[in-house]
Structure 1
Amino acid sequence: MSWKAVALLFFGTVLAAGLIVGAVLYLLFRAGGGPVEAADSLLQSLSRGDVEGAWGETADEFRDGTSLEQFEAFVHEWRLTEASTRTWHARSVSGDVGFSRATVRLEDGKRVPMLFQAARSDERWRVTSIAIEVDNYPWPIQKGAIVSAGADGVVTKD
């Protein structure tokens, strides 16, 4: 075999392997995208000031456990209507449930680390709970502050 044939075979094999790895990574990314898409849609509604619309996008069990008034208090406590950008750090899906982690940057530059849980029903992902990652929050959190909202109701800082 000539060196040209060997080189062509080598580069063809590398290209094929790269395409396979890329396809697998794409599928893995898309598989975990549901919880992120649900949370991102909710945050977009909040950044437009549509708190009621964001609450309406959540799962039935979220709305059963957290009233609109409680959700509004949570949103205003953390100034989520001032969210300017968000960075997604982690996502995980197991069957029809998943979570995603994000850092939400407010208009004044303050960052709020958040954890979203979501579930798929009728082929649509919806947020089932939202929590502030208290251990990763860089400023003191006052006692009584709502730190999570969702299907289990609201939780306040002790």
Structure 2
Amino acid sequence: MKKVGKILLGIVVVLAIIIALAFFATSGLPKAADEFFSLVQQGKIQEAYLATAAEFRAATSEEAFAAFLESTALGGYQSASWSSRKIENNTGKLEGTVTTRDGGQIPVAVDLVKEGETWKILAVRKAEAGIVRESDRAEPPPDAELQRLTTEAVAWLAEAVHKNDFTGFHGHISRLWQGQITADELKNVFASFVEKKIDLSPLREQTPVFSQKPAVDADGVLALEGYFPAQPNQVFFKLKFIYEHPQWKLMGINVRL
């Protein structure tokens, strides 16, 4: 029994060490978020805006940022508690609750990106209040936009295959997917296209046909499936996109000849 007890104690100690290491590894995320919201609390909106990531500022003006804080009550920030934190490569995510000065509770999610050695705010999202219809937040873009997204994604792939270089293609995909795959790994995925010198460039002049109704799932993923009516053989595709403000970004592609 003593031996079993020692083994169990050893397991508990190991788990405690793992948890402590994970907490230490992600400690920079809440620190960055708390510093950001502290500036908001002090009314230093311009400083808070300038403390965000470069991509955040490129997509959101300071005026829009200030309006967002006011319209969501986040401008009345008092404190925050973070229930979830994780890091994937150079991106991180926090989930938790912001408490406002009037005692309100706002569920929020914060995306962060590492610029140099510093974590910066990339996006701030809050849960919607009131009555929210699923169709309001799960509506695919108009047909013209869907066709553009499809043609553009395949054109990027065509260029990457032609050049045997997926660096540019990797630069176009979503931040989420970039954190999961490298340009070289993408190159390996489409190695057969490169070896066979598959030319997808003529598809730029084709109008894609959707065989399945475009839809956004519960995770916010836009799925497009269909084909290009090329001759002599049709080219089939399955694409996935995720919305990263201010646009839909590619997060999955499958092309079959």
Name the amino acid aligned to 1:114: V
Aligned to 1:145: none
Q: Which residue of 111, 124, 127 maps to 2:118?
A: 124
Runs in 1 of length 4+ with deviation above 6 angstroms?
A: 9-12
Per the normalisation by structure 1, the TM-score is: 0.73
List runs of 5+ in structure 2 lacking aligned partners: 133-243, 248-257
Mapped partners of 1:119, 1:63: distance in 2: 13
Name the amino acid aligned to 2:127: E
RMSD: 2.4
Q: Any conservation in 2 of the 1:116–1:127 contact (CA below 8 Å)? A: yes
Name the amino acid aligned to 2:245: D
* 2:31 maps to 1:40: no
Aligned pairs for 1:2-151 (under 5 A) are 16-134=10-128, 137=129, 139=130
Q: Any conservation in 2 of the 1:35–1:117 contact (CA below 8 Å)? A: no
Mapped partners of 2:131, 2:65: distance in 1: 21
Shift of residue 93, structure 1, vs aligned partner: 0.9
Distance 1:45 1:79, change over 3 A: same
Percent identical among aligned pairs is 24
List runs of 5+ in structure 1 lacking aligned partners: 1-5, 142-150
Mapped partners of 1:123, 1:26: distance in 2: 21
Whose relative contact order is higher, 1 or 2, with alpha carbons under 8 Å and at least 6 apart?
Answer: 1
Shift of residue 21, structure 1, vs aligned partner: 2.5
Per the normalisation by structure 2, the TM-score is: 0.47
Mapped partners of 2:96, 2:116: distance in 1: 25
Q: Any conservation in 2 of the 1:32–1:93 contact (CA below 8 Å)? A: yes
User: Secondary structure of the equivalent of 2:103?
Assistant: coil
